[in-house]
Amino acid sequence: MGRISVSLSDLRRAVQQCEQLQQRLIQQEQKMRTIHGRLQQDWVGTSASVLTFKMQSFVEGASVRLNELEAHKEELKRYIRKMEEADREDQRNRSRMQ
């Protein structure tokens, strides 16, 4: 059976990428809220209602994705801590053997 090899630097890079994605999604969500606020003041009618619904759906979806990214990032951090602890344990065992 094959082995999967993942380095700590790969995991740390994945955490950074999650953080970057979160920031971009937050920025997009803020822009959408700003645009939505402006449209609500000036735009009425069916097209305004349809667009408002779509914008609200986007914001709700963004919130869900942000929560998913946060959970994924925390899972990666837990795995990093486990790997670091395993490395320390391995180093202690090696030093005892010498």
- 18 burial via Cβ count (<10 Å: 0-12, 13-18, 19+): buried
pLDDT of residue 15: 95
Residue 68 in any domain: the answer is yes
Count CB neighbours of 26 within 10 A: 12
**If you ran DSSP here, which 8-state letter would residue 43 be given?**
-
Residue 3, domain member (yes or no): no
Q: Is residue 2 part of a domain?
A: no
Joined together, the tokens standing for residue 8 give: 């700590």
Domain that holds residue 93: 8-97
Residue 6, pLDDT score: 78
Mean pLDDT, the chain cut into blocks of 10 residues (98 residues total): 79 95 93 85 85 88 93 95 90 84
Residue 42 falls inside a structural domain: yes
Domain total for the chain?
1
42-80: b (≥16 Cβ within 10 Å) or e:
eeeeeeeeeeeeebeeeeeebeeeeeebeeebeebeeeb
- Give CA separation, 58 vs 30, 37, 71, 79, in Å: 11, 14, 20, 31
